[in-house]
Amino acid sequence: MRAVVYGKGGAVALEDRPEPVAGPGEALLRPLAVGTCGTDLHPERFAFDPGVIMGHELSAEVVGLGPGTSGLAVGDRVVVNPNGITCGACTACRAGRPNLCQPARRASIGIHRDGGLAELVAVPERALHRIPDTLGDEPAAWAEPLAAAIHAVRAAGPVAGLRVLVLGGGPIGLLTLQLLRNGRAAFVGLVEPVPFRRGVAERLGADATYDSVASAGRQAAPGLVVECSGSPAALSAAVHLVADGGSITVIGIGPVGPGIVPLELVGKEVTVRGSALYVDEFPPAIELLAGRRIVVDVLTTRVEPLERFAAAFEAMRSPEGAVKYLLRP
């Protein structure tokens, strides 16, 4: 079968691979739509295993079942929680925080274990969520990044009535914008240097968009900043922008860069929290997508066949005209 593989030399290529077989507790899936993610563009930074089949944002059809499965049937459509192979026994799992399970992170689908950029993939049943007939294949592929955005907004606490600023107009930032609007934030602004993405944010209901943190800083200070860009300087900028006594939620991941100025952090008594992956956010993500309370068609720039993966990856490196490409194996 054809598969997009992160090679031992760091190159990503389309290869022929043997078809997988569903083992005990696993389902054999035929991927239907697979999202391209920023992590896929920088596999060396995120320590992908050499030889792994990529693709962790996917919708799929069940085409086979291994022994010991009980909750699925052939023909079901599902989305995959790529970090859902949790151990259940570590301190994090026992504390109800499976998103911090280290064994699960070392078994991430599409990063450490074969993923969905292939004609077939075998996935443990416990990492799968059935999707309703009302949710199409392509919007369903947005469930994983939406689950991450939901977790970040939940981590921020109640947003109703708050003035909020989102840093970054990529896929996570634009999903977060919609969640904040749904949460009745009083004002949601978004900082994004790319005009195309600012335009998308405006279509999705942003109260204001800014081309830089400097221009955003001329407005009233937000009580909450959600950092979605992964820019090295973004966290430092967030501390400067947020109101006294405000809070910052960080979901963007990028290279190491300038640090926080402690005097400003302490003097303003700012709360900074990280948001890692998701806990139980896949069901609400599916519900929001199926009910079109989160719009993703305007975020899906193009849908390409698997053979066009290189062009899709390259387009995602140049965000002047793209938010996210989907691939159909």
- The pLDDT value given to residue 293: 97
- Regarding whether 32 and 14 lie in a shared domain, the answer is yes
Q: Does the residue 292 lie in any domain?
A: no
Verify that 114 and 168 share a domain, yes or no.
Answer: no
Residue 283: inside a domain, yes or no? no
Residues 6+ apart with CB under 8 A from 183: 153, 158, 159, 160
pLDDT at 30: 98
Residue 18 domain-assigned (yes or no) = yes
20 domain residue, yes or no: yes
Residue 308, domain CATH: 3.90.180.10
Task: Find, among 154, 223, 156, 145, the residue nearest to 189 by Cα.
Answer: 223
My answer on whether 74 and 187 are in the same domain is no
Count CB atoms within 10 A of the CB of residue 243: 17
pLDDT of residue 256: 60
Quick one: 68 and 11 in the same domain? Answer: yes
**Domain identity same for 8 and 126:** yes
Residues 252 and 131 in one domain: no
Kindly state whether residue 280 falls inside one of the protein's structural domains. no
Query: Quick one: pLDDT at residue 217?
Result: 85
We report the CATH number of the domain holding residue 239 as: 3.40.50.720
Beta bridge partners of 300: 324
Residues 7 and 134 in one domain: yes
- Tell me: do 230 and 264 sit in the same domain: yes
Asked whether residue 279 is domain-assigned, the answer is: no
User: Is residue 188 within 8 Å of 209, Cβ to Cβ?
Assistant: no
Tell whether 116 and 203 lie within a shared domain: no
166 to each of 143, 276, 317, how far by Cα in Å? Answer: 20, 17, 21
Q: What is the pLDDT along the chain (329 residues), one digit of tens a residue?
A: 999 999 887 899 999 999 999 999 999 999 999 999 989 988 988 889 999 999 999 999 999 999 999 999 999 999 999 999 999 999 999 999 999 999 999 999 999 999 999 999 999 999 999 999 999 999 999 999 999 999 999 999 999 999 999 999 999 999 999 999 999 999 999 999 999 999 999 999 999 999 999 888 888 999 999 999 988 888 889 999 999 999 999 998 876 656 677 778 888 999 999 999 999 999 999 999 999 999 999 999 999 999 999 999 999 888 788 999 999 99
If asked whether residues 55 and 69 sit together in one domain, one would say yes
Segments forming the whole domain that contains residue 82: 2-142+299-328
Answer yes or no: is 281 within a domain.
no
Tally of domains in the chain: 2
**Residue 256, Cβ neighbours under 10 Å: how many?**
6
From 237, 258, 274, the end of a domain falls on 274
Burial of 24 (0-12, 13-18, 19+ CB in 10 A): exposed
pTM for the model stands at: 0.95
Residue 282 lies inside a defined structural domain of this protein: no
Residue for token digits 């109640």?
158
Q: Are residues 74 and 176 in the same domain?
A: no
Q: Are residues 126 and 236 in the same domain?
A: no
